[in-house]
Structure 1
């Protein structure tokens, strides 16, 4: 065994290189085991569908990643027409919203107050903590991306605003 104080710099370098080279055969296997699934989608390839019945009619949704009905990370885009309104509501999970195009108007509270809503323009970002009472609307076509955690839900402050309940009556 070599005493540590007798190791020369060239010997230490040789030992380090030898250790590195001996570990190289295991690197591809480790990388293959830990590589995440990759998703690459161009905007023209998004599959837009009608938003779930819990949202007012007219919105379209494209799921980019994850399953919004299950626990786990999700990335979802919403395409909202001009004049679209989502009455005051809240979500269980925190939302991280980015406006892709158009302008999303958002306000905090239990009543929709269009005069006091904040205009979030294309490129704008908003963190909306879970259970925060808020509302949203558009004046022009708008696309918004939500990076968050599932399951994605919506609970209306006034139950009569829930499109599922009003459709059942």
Structure 2
């Protein structure tokens, strides 16, 4: 490719709609203990001391990321979500049991995927709290089951 063609391609790339956006989304970075995070309560059926904070997106919209936290020793009751869950355990050790599957023990740094509407429960090991990063692709909900 000659120099003129290369320069023209570069100019076209810079002139793309994404490059011309006046109000791009800001880059974000949070740790689970960031004092800027606003932790709110979880649904009433979740264990005492449970908290959730929105990291990005609108939890009522089609995509959002959250931190979900429960104290060590907590049992997360059986429930399901409208959205699939993409999770990374940030702290603690969490045993997760999805209906029809063997329980899995998540350790800090592990990734897990939970399909939409698949019932599950979990137990956070004694000691440090379990904090999950969860990415949802539909409005955030948690529907308890009997």
Tell me which interval the TM-score lies in, with the shorter structure as reference length.
Answer: 0.7 to 0.9
Alpha carbon RMSD of aligned pairs, Å?
2.9
| Counterpart for residue 127 of structure 1 | 113
Tell me if structure 2 keeps the 8 A contact 1:54–1:154.
no
In the TM superposition, structure 1's runs of 4+ consecutive aligned residues that sit over 4 Å from their partners are none
| Counterpart for residue 30 of structure 2 | 42
Residue 50 of structure 1: how far off its partner (Å): 2.2
Q: Which among 61, 64, 67 is matched to residue 55 of structure 2? A: 64
Cα pair distance change 1:36/1:137, threshold 3 Å: farther
Cα pair distance change 1:52/1:20, threshold 3 Å: same
Aligned residues: 140
Matches of 1:62 and 1:154, distance apart in 2:
15
Matches of 1:108 and 1:30, distance apart in 2:
40
| Counterpart for residue 142 of structure 1 | 130
Tell me if structure 1 keeps the 8 A contact 2:43–2:142.
no
Cα pair distance change 1:122/1:32, threshold 3 Å: same
Query: Following superposition of structure 1 onto structure 2, how do residues 3-152 of structure 1 map, counting pairs within 5 Å?
Result: 13=2, 16=5, 19-20=8-9, 23=11, 27=15, 31-33=19-21, 36-43=24-31, 44=34, 45-53=36-44, 55-68=46-59, 70-109=60-99, 117-139=103-125, 140=127, 141-152=129-140
TM-score (norm 1): 0.69
Between structures 1 and 2, the one with greater strand share? 2
- When Rg is computed on C-alpha atoms for both structures, the one with the higher figure is 1
Note the residue ranges of structure 1 that are not aligned, 5 or more in a row: 1-11, 111-115, 159-169
Between structures 1 and 2, the one with greater helix share? 1
Over residues 113-155 of structure 1, what are the superposed CA-to-partner deviations in whole Å (9 max), with x where a residue is unaligned? xxx6321000011110001111111123111010122311112
TM-score (norm 2): 0.79
Residue 36 of structure 1: how far off its partner (Å): 3.8
